[in-house]
Amino acid sequence: MHINKLIALVLFGACQFSCLQILCQKKTDTVIVSSAITDTSKKNLLAQDTEAKKFNPRKATFRSAIIPGWGQAYNKKYWKIPIIYAALGTTGGIFFYNLTIYKLLKQAVIYKSDTIPGNDALIDPRFINLSLESIRTYRNNYRQNIDYSVLFFLIFWGLNVVDATVDAHLKSFDVGNDLGLKIKPGYNYVTHTPGITFLLSLREKRSKALSSVP
């Protein structure tokens, strides 16, 4: 009788111990899973934050301002570099062409204006048969063309800087498949007529990562 009670007591204690072990194991598993989810979310957040920090708009602006195309290379937009150099190279070539012709016309005006007949032979053959007033007109036109070519060169250089800066800023936004243009029916309260509404959604990558944290 005492042996049966002892056996029952031992079995009851074993069952209690097993149940306690199962509960502890479940709690441990829950803590591990929760910790793993939290760690994963933190890693995603850090990865997104690191990705955004890789493309610093200030660095892109500074590099493009020094060397055209350097900011685009920093943003990994290599295909834009030939376009930038084609624009700058074209305006640069036009500048030097106009400058060369301007110098020839300027010298031609000097030779035509002096009282030494022999200097007329030193004028460029393209302008030797032109009158003094015509040469002056051409000189002024080419001088104006030089100013325009310098202006356009500076504009293209500035656009190169702006493009690199904007690209670096957009790196921190979600431009994946979730980004889209939504078209919804709308109503124009001014003309009181139905119309169409275009909605463009932009989200920062970092905010997307934060939303995944439990």
Which residue has better confidence, 30 or 179?
179
- Residue 106 above 90 pLDDT? yes
What proportion of the chain, given as a percentage, has pLDDT over 70? 56
pLDDT digits (tens, 9 = 90+) for 53-79: 567 889 989 999 999 999 999 999 999
Q: How does residue 28 score in pLDDT terms, banded at 50, 70 and 90? A: very low
pLDDT value, residue 24: 45
Q: How does residue 118 score in pLDDT terms, banded at 50, 70 and 90? A: confident
Instruction: Record the pTM.
Output: 0.58
pLDDT value, residue 38: 47
Report the length, in residues, of the chain.
214
pLDDT digits (tens, 9 = 90+) for 136-172: 999 999 999 999 999 999 999 999 999 999 988 887 6
CA 93, 94, 99, 100 torsion-angle sign: positive
CA distances, 156 to each of 85, 89, 128, 145 (Å): 9, 10, 37, 16
- Residue 12 above 80 pLDDT? no
Of 124, 154, 156, give the one whose Cα is nearest residue 142.
Answer: 124
Q: Which residues contact 57 (CB under 8 A, 6 or more apart)?
A: 165, 168, 169
Of 160, 152, 137, give the one whose Cα is nearest residue 93.
Answer: 152
Q: How does residue 198 score in pLDDT terms, banded at 50, 70 and 90? A: low
pLDDT value, residue 44: 53
Measured CA to CA, the distance from residue 159 to residue 64 in angstroms comes to 10
Q: How does residue 179 score in pLDDT terms, banded at 50, 70 and 90? A: low
**Token reading at 213:** 């944290």
- Residue 90 above 70 pLDDT? yes
Of 91, 90, 84, 92, give the one whose Cα is nearest residue 68.
Answer: 84
- Give the chain's count of helices (H) and strands (E): 6, 2
Q: Which residues contact 123 (CB under 8 A, 6 or more apart)?
A: 107, 108, 111, 112
